[in-house]
Chains A and B, each alone.
Chain A
Amino acid sequence: MNLGTRKLLDRSFTALGISSIVIMGLMLLVVLVPIVSNGIGAIVFKSTIEHRKMLYHEFNRGDKADLQREIASSDASRKEIYRMLDTFDAELSKMDETRQQEYREKFEQVKNSLRALLGPIPGDEEPALARLKYGQTRWEKAEEKLHELLFEKKWDYSNPDEMAKEYEVSRSASFEGTSLVRLFPYVEKNIDRLLQPEWTFYWGFITDSSVDAHFFGGIWPEIQGTLFLAVGAMLFAFPLGVIGAIYFTEYARDGFLTSLLRSANSTLAGVPSIVFGLFGLTFFINTLKVSESKSVLAGSLTLAIMILPTIIRSSEEAILAVPKTYKEASLGLGSTKWNTIIKVILPAALPGILTGGVLSLGRAAGETAPIIFTAAVSVGSAIGLADVLSSPTPALSWNIYNLASEHEAAAEIRHVQYGMVLALMTIVTLLNMSAIVLRARISKKLKG
């Protein structure tokens, strides 16, 4: 090959390498930026007075005097709205039958939009569900609801041979000539005074339980459930995995049985996680009956089986990476085999073993399929340490799925879902970081 071609090939390979790294970096940005920015929106956001009312009533948090002052100033503006509604109601009853019918339905829509924006209208029966007790707690949602109050969404069905197109009609136009027409510009103009938005740092999103199926409040039960499950899985899998690795590297003789065990271990590492989930259900819950229902215990055991092969493999690698001279020196000085393993080999292999362990911990925290049937529920309160043996728990990975698809009002509470995604990512990242730090510290100590 002549020198020119070789140089060209070399350069083009470098370019290819760099571009693939750049693409990977961009992909990471595309994925991470929305996750982080949307996720932070669950904690730092512009809250309305309804958020502060909710905090005070549901969590008994916030300054009563301050809140009352705010409510008073907001109510002063709200009174005008409710007065307009009453005026129109009176006007409506004086209209003739056909016009009354025409307006009645539209008026009901306006009232419902107002309820969504500001909470129950005075004179309404007290709602049983917390989601209906308050107006919009988040400013960006409130702006959406305001738009829905000002404009009615309609579909143009005039041509039955085509799919309809959406268009918007100003509601004030449809109430032209009545007293209610004043309401819309009034609400639009005074929305700041009605809802009193201000920037909030809602730390309770991390530490509170949810109120009314994740409509309000936080995600503490999910975070706690995730930690319980991951740590529980580790308690079972880590000791077993390390012992297995010691057996493979130090005791097992090369032979048919050992190679069978090894390949069984590798196969187990490649089994899809849903299979482990179903296995956990039939074995731990239905056959062994480790608990009467789904439970953290059953979930942890299932996750433990799932991460066990990885822990065995990484521990094995770590033990094999310990220089042979260590072992020879120890045995040569008259130490027993057991002593050598405990005092010489394991400490030297510890950084590698721990890294594998913590990486598996991260995987256990993020898995959904194994816990669907064995541990996770969509609603439940935070459980105490005493309940892990018998109680199921909500967990981040499962609840993200639940909020994304099953929840009856998924579109209303996207921010909660985003917050959960960020929380799960943060937990897994922190675990991985701690693995790196731990490894560095232990290696340093061993060298020192």
Chain B
Amino acid sequence: MAKFRVTSLVVSAIFLLVSGGPAEAKNGIVIDGSTTVGPLAKSFAAYFTRSRGISVTVSESGSGNGAKSLINGTCDIATMSRSMKPEELAAARSKGIEPVAGVVALDGLAMVVNPANPVHSLTKQQIAAIYKGSVTNWRQVGGPNARILIVQRESNSGTQETFKELVVGKKVHIAASAETQASNGAVKNRISLTKGAIGFVGLGFIDSTVKKIAVDGVLPSPETVRNGTYPLSRPLFMVTAGTPKGRVQEFINLSATPVGKRMIKELGFVGTR
């Protein structure tokens, strides 16, 4: 009996290998990349799978990984919360891939603190000073006497890149005392648990467990991001290898349809058109 089972396992394994074959056409859409765009990609995926019957898988491993996957040809769409870097573009072109980026939504990079923190507004310079490590106590920026815990994102994160570009400067080193978290959700969680912490997350991740603060006097919200008054806003991209065609194009264009726009709004992002 046992022997029969083992044989049948082996036979079915061989059968599997033969019947499928790597040449079989890929039938789903594979998406990899940003954790910020994650909620959007997941909701689009659920809608697309449901309405079109095409399976869509979404990984949230960071914008950098998304770009790498696209360059290696292992995903159809890379979701990114920053634009592609020159070296990524060069790597893609050397493999004969011309990345085409489409903006699916706008997002505000919200600075967040623990709700217990009375500080409700910082200037860009103050934030930069905190992240460079020259300001280490909330008292120095008009808050209570408490040490500042800086929370940043990993190097793979598009949110981190955008933050550096918009606030502290691309080449500037962030203080060594800064703590690194691997996703928007993890940053939010850390800040909701630590009274002296400051961090940044996408607008879609804000809830009552953290407090968003005004930057240069402007609070992040869909309105201030749309009209451009909030200084830390950025586009969110879906990048494809070459001009998107067929179902991939259809998927990306969801962001321009009424239902796509509704999803963008309900998730706390800002529509483009």
Contacts and interface: CB of A to CB of B under 8 A. Distances in A.
A285 interface: yes
Contacts of B184: 406, 408
A143 interface: no
Contacts of A381: 49, 55
Contact of B20 (A153, A160, A166, A386): A386
B270 to A, nearest CB: 16
B75 A293 contact: yes
B44 to A, nearest CB: 10
A198 to B, nearest CB: 28
Interface in B201-244: 204-205, 207-209
Given A159-B118, A379-B45, A408-B267, 19 more contacts: A129-B263, A155-B116, A161-B144, A163-B146, A163-B195, A213-B42, A213-B43, A372-B61, A378-B42, A379-B46, A380-B57, A386-B20, A387-B27, A389-B24, A391-B28, A405-B182, A406-B183, A409-B207, A410-B185
Contacts of B76: 293
A416 interface: no
A377 B46 contact: no
Nearest to A164: B116
A20 B145 CA distance: 45
A390 B117 contact: no
Question: How big is chain A's contact interface, by range?
Answer: 35 or more
A372 B59 CA distance: 9
Interface in A235-260: 235, 239
B55 A391 contact: yes
A411 interface: yes
Interface string A412-446: 00000000000000000000000000000010000
20 contacts: A129-B267, A132-B266, A155-B116, A160-B144, A163-B117, A165-B116, A166-B115, A293-B75, A378-B60, A380-B58, A390-B20, A391-B28, A391-B55, A406-B183, A406-B185, A408-B39, A408-B184, A408-B204, A408-B205, A410-B189
Most B CB atoms within 10 A — which of A350, A378, A383? A378
B46 A211 contact: yes
Given A377-B57, A408-B185, A410-B189, A213 B46 contact: yes
A197 B33 CA distance: 40
Interface of A: 125, 127-130, 132, 153, 155, 157, 159-166, 211-213, 235, 239, 285-286, 289-294, 350, 372-373, 376-381, 383, 385-394, 402, 405-411, 442
Contacts of A157: 118
Nearest to A234: B9
A128 B30 contact: no
A378 B38 contact: yes
A161 B114 CA distance: 15
B2 interface: yes
A294 B59 contact: yes
Interface string B159-172: 00000000000000
B259 interface: yes
Interface in B113-151: 114-118, 139, 142-146
Nearest to A298: B74
B46 A155 contact: no
Interface in B47-82: 47, 49, 55-61, 69, 72-76
B65 to A, nearest CB: 8
B258 to A, nearest CB: 9
Nearest to B266: A129
A164 B115 contact: yes
B20 A388 contact: yes
B158 to A, nearest CB: 14
B102 to A, nearest CB: 20
Most A CB atoms within 10 A — which of B49, B74, B184, B195? B74
A129 B186 contact: no
Contacts of B22: 289-291, 389-390
Given A129-B43, A155-B116, A389 B185 contact: no
B13 interface: yes
A239 B262 CA distance: 53
A127 B262 contact: yes
A249 to B, nearest CB: 19
Interface in B91-119: 114-118
A160 B142 contact: yes
B86 interface: no
A212 B73 CA distance: 28
Most A CB atoms within 10 A — which of B22, B43, B55, B59? B59
A405 B189 contact: yes
Contacts of A385: 16
B39 A392 contact: no
Nearest to B119: A160
A411 B115 contact: no
A379 B42 CA distance: 6
A380 B41 CA distance: 11
Contact of B144 (A163, A388, A389, A392): A163
A127 B262 CA distance: 7
B209 A411 contact: yes
Contact of B266 (A127, A235, A391): A127
A408 B117 CA distance: 23
B152 interface: no
Contacts of A409: 207
A160 B118 CA distance: 6
Contacts of A160: 118, 142-144
Contacts of A212: 43, 46
Interface in B9-30: 9-10, 13, 16, 19-22, 24, 26-28, 30
A277 to B, nearest CB: 12
In order of increasing CB-CB distance, the 3 nearest A-B pairs are: A380-B57, A128-B262, A389-B20
B116 A163 contact: yes
Contacts of B267: 129, 408
A239 B10 contact: yes
A300 B15 CA distance: 16
Contact of A442 (B2, B56, B266): B2
A167 to B, nearest CB: 11
Contact of B35 (A162, A386, A392, A406): A406
B91 to A, nearest CB: 13
Contacts of B145: 161
B110 to A, nearest CB: 13
